[in-house]
Structure 1
């Protein structure tokens, strides 16, 4: 009887747990689309694009020195964990004329990790405001064209977020001032969207191999 119990714990329980979590990923592992068809940023200076990338989108504004701590939080809690995925990037929209401040920020970020997937795109006030307004979020852009919030944009240029968040109901963005929010919410949501695309890729490859 004792041996049977031990075998049950060692072999059956892990299998049940695996099936439970695998089922959860397949049935519930979809990050809701909150806003569709956001314009690309290929016309911004810097060469960045949303197309075919999972993008963490931020708005640095002109007070870049004040956003340095936010950038460090994002780098340490999100970029270091997910920057290895080839279709993942961080894009910061910045008003034209702030190039020198961005170079200084990049130097500081470079002391913490490699930053090859940190992209900075420079646009006019109208261009930056247009992209932000297209998100249709409940977050306000500061007068300097910046915000401490970042947003998840999928490969089809849709804003992803939560429609059943326990604190906010609909959650459009993540506050980079809060390490707890990055750890407890944003990290989970980035995991979900990466898993979503990888499951879709595996399915497509399996479908092709079966033809």
Structure 2
């Protein structure tokens, strides 16, 4: 009986632990696609004059305008509650879309926070207000830009699809997450980022297993 009990514990504990850490409101389902084929951001330039892409990356995309106080507060909330947990994933990136006039302020802000955060993982990109509005419009959400700013941040998958919730108990559909709300970031957004990363990890494992079998 003792041997049987030990074997049962050894077998059951990993399964229970996996279910505990992977569980959430969405459990093992895929995070719903709410908008397909959002605009890529490859036409924008980063602080070094280079372009980046949302394609083939899991991206947290924000539109934080030219007000440095908004940029500081919202980005810091995201970094502390979401980003620092997932920086280790190579396919994960944080993209901050800003107007051209915010370039110098963004550089100062990034330098200021470099000692307390992995700011090299933040992708600040810049463009004209018309380009920013066109990109935001492609997300097709109920949220609005105030100039080039919204406090809501968005999850975009590797295929340029906007992900979120279609049956949230509080809001119904969740297109974006309010970066001013620590509770919303810690609860809903953290859960959803965890789900989409798990989704891609499982897909990668499946593809690797299929290659080995072929």
The normalised TM-score by structure 2 is 0.88
User: What's 1:171 paired with?
Assistant: 174
Q: What aligned pairs does 1:150-169 form with structure 2 within 5 A after superposition?
A: 150-169=153-172
C-alpha distance in 1, partners of 2:124/2:18?
Answer: 42
Alignment counterpart, residue 104 of structure 2, candidates 58, 82, 100: 100
Q: CA deviation at 1:205?
A: 0.6
Does residue 142 of the first structure (1) align with residue 146 of the second (2)? Answer: yes
Alignment counterpart, residue 63 of structure 2, candidates 38, 56, 59: 59
In the superposition, relative to structure 1, how do residues 210 and 4 fare at CA in structure 2: closer, same or farther (>3 Å)?
closer
Does residue 122 of the first structure (1) align with residue 121 of the second (2)? Answer: no
User: What's 2:206 paired with?
Assistant: 203
Q: What aligned pairs does 1:186-197 form with structure 2 within 5 A after superposition?
A: 186-197=189-200
Query: Runs of at least 4 residues of structure 1 off by over 4 A?
Result: 3-9, 18-27
> Which runs of no fewer than 5 residues in structure 2 stay unpaired?
none
SS at match of 1:97: helix
User: What's 1:33 paired with?
Assistant: 33
C-alpha distance in 1, partners of 2:75/2:10?
Answer: 45
Q: Is the 8 A contact 2:28 2:195 kept in 1?
A: no
C-alpha distance in 2, partners of 1:206/1:27?
Answer: 23
Task: Give the alignment's Cα RMSD to 1 decimal.
Answer: 2.6
When structure 1 is superposed on structure 2, of 78-87 and 18-27 the one drifting more is 18-27
How many aligned residue pairs are there? Answer: 209
Q: CA deviation at 1:178?
A: 0.8
Q: Is the 8 A contact 1:67 1:148 kept in 2?
A: no
SS at match of 2:66: coil
Q: CA deviation at 1:21?
A: 6.3
Does residue 70 of the first structure (1) align with residue 74 of the second (2)? Answer: yes
The normalised TM-score by structure 1 is 0.89
In the superposition, relative to structure 1, how do residues 14 and 174 fare at CA in structure 2: closer, same or farther (>3 Å)?
same
User: What's 1:86 paired with?
Assistant: 90
Does residue 184 of the first structure (1) align with residue 187 of the second (2)? Answer: yes
